[in-house]
Amino acid sequence: MPGFTIHIAVAKEYAKKHPKEIRDVDEFIKGSIAPDNISLENSNIDKNITHYGKWGKGETQTYIDAFLKDAKVDMQSDYWKGYFMHLLTDHCFYNICFRKELEEEQRTHHGFYYDYDCLNKELLKKYHIEIMENIKKYMSCTEGKPRYLNIDKVIKFIDNMSNINLEEQEELIKQKGMEGIK
């Protein structure tokens, strides 16, 4: 999972670029961190459930088509739009944009968390992110050089994710399954 800071930056930028679509930015941001936050706050809820997929031990699969079929999901709600954005962000991060970095991380087993901590300070400042109290303990800022992630590539990723059209992505996934993700 990309760190909370990346998810919040994507959500904030998306809301800024799509003001007619996102009515309640706070709810959208809450949804954008929910899949990670739910499993961290309640250890009885597995990340595989909150992410509609298979996570851990080298697996980074999210089945967003299953999410869209879930009866509790209301894509008219900004919270659920944010949740959808989170799943899309995870999928694109691990399976498209940062695939090589993930492969290297899996060979060395150091994890991305150190990198997120190294990038947080700059991302918090760039995207004017105020750290929410309930996730503060997961958003450390460390001085150092990331092992795998390049700040410019992460910023480009955030920009690209915030430019997508959620409604279009929803329709493509409903029609084509996971192959519909661009």
Instruction: Write down the pLDDT at residue 167.
Output: 95
Q: What's the pLDDT at 182?
A: 64
Residues contacting 95, CB < 8 A, separation 6+: 60, 61
Given a contact cutoff of 8 angstroms between Cβ atoms, the answer to whether 13 and 34 are in contact is: no
Q: For residue 7, which amino acid is it?
A: H
**Per-residue confidence in pLDDT tens, the chain, 182 aa:** 689 999 999 999 999 999 999 999 999 999 999 999 998 888 888 888 998 988 777 777 888 999 999 999 999 999 999 999 999 999 999 889 999 998 898 888 787 889 999 999 999 999 999 988 889 888 889 999 999 999 999 999 999 999 999 999 999 999 988 887 86
Prediction pTM value: 0.94
Q: How far apart are CA 88 and CA 38, in angstroms?
A: 17
Please list the residues that pair with 59 across neighbouring strands. 56
Pairwise CA distance, residues 157 & 155, whole Å: 5
pLDDT at residue 137, as a whole number? 87
**Whole-number pLDDT of residue 61:** 81
Looking at residue 182, the DSSP 8-state letter turns out to be -
